[in-house]
Amino acid sequence: MSGRPVPRDRIWSRREIEGLIAEGRKIFILDDQVIKADAWLPFHPGGEKAILHMIGRDGTDEIRALHSLEAQAQMQRYVIGKIKGRWENFLPPIQGGVFRPNFHIEADGPSQPRPQSETGSSSTTSSVPPSPVFDPVEPLNTGTKSSTSSASSVFDNDLDVKSDPIETRLAAERTSDLLKYPSIDHVSQDSIVEKYRETERLIRAAGLYRCPYGSYAIECTRYLLLLAGFLITLHYSYFALSGAFLGALWHQLVFTVHDAGHMGITHDFHTDTCIGILIADFIGGLSIGWWKRNHNVHHIVTNSPEHDPDIEHLPFFAITPRFFSSLRSTYYDRVLKFDALSKWAVSKQNWLYYPILLFGRFNLYRLSWEYLLLGQAPKRGPAWWHRYFELVGHVFFWTWFGYGVLYKSIPTAWDRFVFVMISHMLTAPLHVQITLSHFAMSTADLGVHESFPQKMLRTTMDVDCPTWLDFFHGGLQFQAVHHLYPRIPRHNLREAQKYVRKFCAETGIPYVIYGFGQGNQEVISRLGEVAKQVRVYEECRKVCAKELVEGHGFGH
């Protein structure tokens, strides 16, 4: 692009935008406006990965869900033009999308004539006739077919993998989703998006985005009682009981951190972030900055094995056989090796699930330190100072907890060990709750045309519980509702659930909800199924190796 300013009313074609992305520009669509986020990428408080997953896409629903109106207004500074007609999503480069450069594009004027051979689209293109403003695109099989015909087409195309039971299972999962959920043709998905946005307007009009501060008065009372229990039992040397009180306090405080991370308390970015830092870093020794960087990506690419860090738990867990291929994580920028340890652990993961989650908090320490010490936090922009505030918080935490409690208040090594184990393991229900809503749900990729609300409901489930138990689950039992509208304060999610149920009934999207016990059974069942597939995978590998040794792998 040239150095001259780009008119904000310039109309961009899809082919021109493809060329800009091929040059490395960070382009996405918001409300029919073309946003060039190159200059903002290093400043984004939620990390650059969240933006990279939006490149080439219409990110309107994702952006509205995760950002305040003020943040959306700030994005207007990066508008370089607009589009006309329906936008056809590209597959973002970070997800493997391939883009053709276009050397005929000028940023400040109409594009020059191009050879006819250049007017096509990339392989990740449209599935309906294009708008006259856009260049011609090649239709996909999933375009105007019904869900049933789409599923049949996919199944037919996957017949050649019947000899590979792993690939057959993955193809069957995708086919099952295509049959159970609304068609991914544009008419169906546009209707879903329209109803989703209408539901959001109804929820907002009902005042469910307003934080019920009276509920936080009750929360604070509970926190103070747990804190008092921790200090009193510590004073009288009931160390195991003291650790239990502290673990329960940490468990409850995390729910407020979750609200603050989504700006669900005061709705002001810095105020809610500071609330989160004071609780997560100063009291809990964990980094809310790391959590935001991780969690924002999770909300955009939920249950994607290659991209969602919340389901990337090798060598201990694999919720889909896709992990058997040692896939590369775009979040961690490394290959998740399915090595000997992974094969052993995953083959027994349904038995190891709860024991491993007992140690989950220790892993959160590691991830927090990596984020703060290895330069993953924003160094510029509005959140530049948050990292330093968090580092102060960690010094404070290890001073009061490590020195004041463990070293000065507990006399023996054994009592310290018991205190640490109990206080940390008592937070395990939180890790169960986080995995519960996703581990048993689909990991299939239905393509770039699937709408944001359908993908969230396809990959997330709710957990049913009586109202009086809401304090224990802390709003995390309404994960499907939360993924659709993440900035709704948790105390309003039960009311918002009524709107989501109606939305699902009107669109035909299954609303998945289980009781806590049944939800756990679903997760254990999924883990057990994948564990069995490890043995199948090993048998296939041995057969392939034998055929290679005997010469059958060289064209025989």
Query: What is the average pLDDT across 347-351?
Result: 95
Q: Tokens standing for 213?
A: 């501060």
Banded model confidence at residue 438, pLDDT cuts 50, 70, 90: very high
Residue 124: pLDDT above 50? Answer: no
Q: Please give the pLDDT value at position 361.
A: 95
For the chain, the straight-line distance linking the first and the last C-alpha, in angstroms and rounded, comes to: 53
Cα 526 to Cα 200, 309, 480, distances in angstroms: 32, 19, 19
In terms of pLDDT, which residue wins out, 4 or 455?
A: 455
Residue 104: pLDDT above 80? Answer: no
Residue 123: pLDDT above 50? Answer: no
Express the helix, strand and coil content of the chain in percent, nearest 5 each.
Answer: 60, 5, 35
Q: Are 58 and 89 within 8 A, CB to CB?
A: yes
Q: Please give the pLDDT value at position 3.
A: 55
Residue 113: pLDDT above 60? Answer: no
Tell me the torsion sign for CA atoms 46, 51, 52, 53. Answer: positive
Rounded CA separation 269/67 (Å):
10
| pLDDT > 70: percent of the chain | 85
Rounded CA separation 406/426 (Å):
17
Rounded CA separation 76/35 (Å):
8
pTM of the model: 0.86
In terms of pLDDT, which residue wins out, 317 or 434?
A: 317
Rounded CA separation 249/227 (Å):
7
Q: Please give the pLDDT value at position 69.
A: 87
The rounded mean pLDDT for the chain is: 86
Banded model confidence at residue 314, pLDDT cuts 50, 70, 90: very high
DSSP code, position 443: -
Rounded CA separation 58/27 (Å):
10
Cα dihedral 64, 66, 68, 72, rounded to 10, equals -50
Q: Please give the pLDDT value at position 47.
A: 86
Residue 551: pLDDT above 70? Answer: no
Rounded CA separation 121/136 (Å):
7
Task: Report helix angle 360-373 to 413-425, nearest 10.
Answer: 90
DSSP per-residue codes, 311-340: G-BTTTB-SSGGGGG-PEETTTTEE----H
Check residue 263 and give left, alpha or beta (phi > 0: left; psi -120 to 50: alpha).
left
Rounded CA separation 527/520 (Å):
11
Residue with the two structure tokens 């924003």: 378
Residue 476: pLDDT above 50? Answer: yes
Residue 107: pLDDT above 80? Answer: no
Q: Are 539 and 164 within 8 A, CB to CB?
A: no
Q: Please give the pLDDT value at position 111.
A: 42
In terms of pLDDT, which residue wins out, 248 or 119?
A: 248
Q: Tokens standing for 434?
A: 């986080």
- Residues 65-81 have pLDDT tens digits of 999 888 888 899 999 99
From 493, 489, 462, 449, select the one nearest 189 (Cα to Cα). 449
Strands 328-329 and 334-335: antiparallel
Q: Are 43 and 380 within 8 A, CB to CB?
A: yes
Rounded CA separation 394/371 (Å):
12
Burial class (CB in 10 A: 0-12, 13-18, 19+), 508: middle
